[in-house]
Each structure stands twice: as structure tokens, then as C-alpha cells.
Amino acid sequence: MKQIIEIAPSLLSADFANLAREIAKVESGGAHVLHLDVMDGHFVPNITIGLPVVKSIRKITKMPLDAHLMIANPGQYLDDFIRAGVNWLSVHIEADIHIERTLHHLRDNGVRAGVAINPGTSLSTLEEVLPLADYVLIMTVNPGFGGQKFIPSMLKKISRLKEIIVSNNYQARIEVDGGIGPGNLQDVLTAGAEIIVAGSAVFSSEKDASEAVREMKMIACGQTVCLG
């Protein structure tokens, strides 16, 4: 079975004074999805963007918005993010004690339901909810900051999850996030990743962001099927 690959630039490393321009660049480079990192200073030590910014971004792009909530009490904010116009939403398994309800709620509201998992959290914590997830976001760095180094042992975690999904015939796709760029893209694809988040490799590259997206698509879409 061929994998359908999507490239999801993370806005975290973009120039925040020129968000519209940065978004237009990755859209013209053919990015499939726009990844938005929401951090609250509690679940992770950093604070980033919130609802007003998400609402404004919704008005200026046709790309699906993929919100990655790195916040405490995520269940409390689901409806706000749905109303803000996100298309995909992932919540950390470590932050949500009612993740089963969350995933149902997202699906019932027409949003792709994602469950995110930190590098130190076992895949076994996903067992009960895997059938309910549209995607699993495997963190390949500890969340909180862009520009960190990919944790190599996560390759095995990705392939183990892939095996579980395939052998149980689940629908969930695998998204990977943290330290990914042209140098290790092929490795995560081989392990089974399908949705590729890249922040600094796109927005802090010496190349233009649109060119950086094109380069990643060339690698990813050479042997596999890409959307668009």
C-alpha cells in the first residue's frame, strides 16, 4: 500500500512580524497543511500563539489548519479552536485525562482528531484510543521549542506504531514533529510517517521558504504518493 504524504510547515519558526507573507510563501511552495503550535507556558515552558492569531490566519489561507495544542486542560478550549476554523486538531495524551471524549468530540464536529505523544511516553498509553484517532502526532523532540535536534530512537517508535496500525487495520495516520528536514526526511518516511511537520527546516533555511517546501516535496514525493 502506498502512503499518502503531506508536508506541514510549522509557523513557529516563521517571521511573526510578517505572517501573511510567510504563509503565502509555503502555500506557493505547495505545502499541504499549515501546522500551528499553541503553547501555554504550563504544559510546555514556552508561550506562543492563541485564538486571535488562529482566527486571523484562517482568513488568509486556504490550506487546512493543523492545530497542535501543547496546553493544560485542552478539553476546555476545543470548541474555541473549532470555531476559529481549524481543520485538524491534536491534543497531548499527557495533558488530557478525557482524551476518549475529546477525540469523539472533534470527529463529531467535523475536525480531524489527533492524539499527540511526547518522546518519553509509551505507545501503550494510546491503546484504547487508537481506533478513534484520525492521526497520531509522534513528537520527535520534547515539545516547547523549534530548532531542536531529532531524537534518533523515535524512528523505532514510529515503525512500531505503524505496525500496530497496520496489523489492527486502524485508520490513523502518523504525523511526526521536531527536528525534521531534508537530511532525515527519508528516514522518517521509511519508518512509516505520513504527515511531516517542519519548522526551522522551512522558515530558518538559507533557501526561501517556498523553495524549502519544494525540496522536501521532491524527496517525499519521489517514491510515494503526495497530495497535490
**Contact positions vs Zn ion (CB under 5 A):** 37, 68, 177
The CB-of-67 to ligand DX5 minimum distance in angstroms stands at 11
Nearest 5°: phi and psi at 132?
A: -95, -5
By CB under 6 A, what part of segment 30-69 binds ligand DX5? 35, 37, 68
- Tell me the C-alpha distance between 100 and 174, whole Å: 18
Task: Determine the size of the site formed for ligand DX5 (CB under 6 A).
Answer: 21
Best CA proximity match to 171, nearest among 205, 135, 206, 143: 135
Paired with 174 in beta bridges are 136
Query: Does 78 sit near ligand DX5 (CB under 6 A)?
Result: no
The helix (H) or strand (E) run that includes residue 153 is none
Residue 108 annotated in active site? no
Torsion angle defined by CA atoms of residues 5, 71, 149 and 185, in that order, rounded to the nearest 10 degrees: 0
Write the binding mask 148 to 187 for ligand DX5: x where contact by CB under 6 A, - elsewhere: x----------------------------xxxx-------
Stretch that binds ligand DX5, among 17-25, 85-93, 145-153, 164-172 (CB under 6 A): 145-153
47/218 with CB nearer Zn ion: 47
Q: Is 79 a catalytic residue?
A: no
Q: What is the DSSP string of 105-152?
A: HHHHTT-EEEEEE-TTS-GGGGTTTGGG-SEEEEESS-TT-SSPPP-T
Catalytic residue positions, numbered: 37, 177
Which residues are at the interface with ligand DX5 (CB under 6 A)? 10, 12-13, 35, 37, 68, 141, 143-144, 146-148, 177-180, 197-201
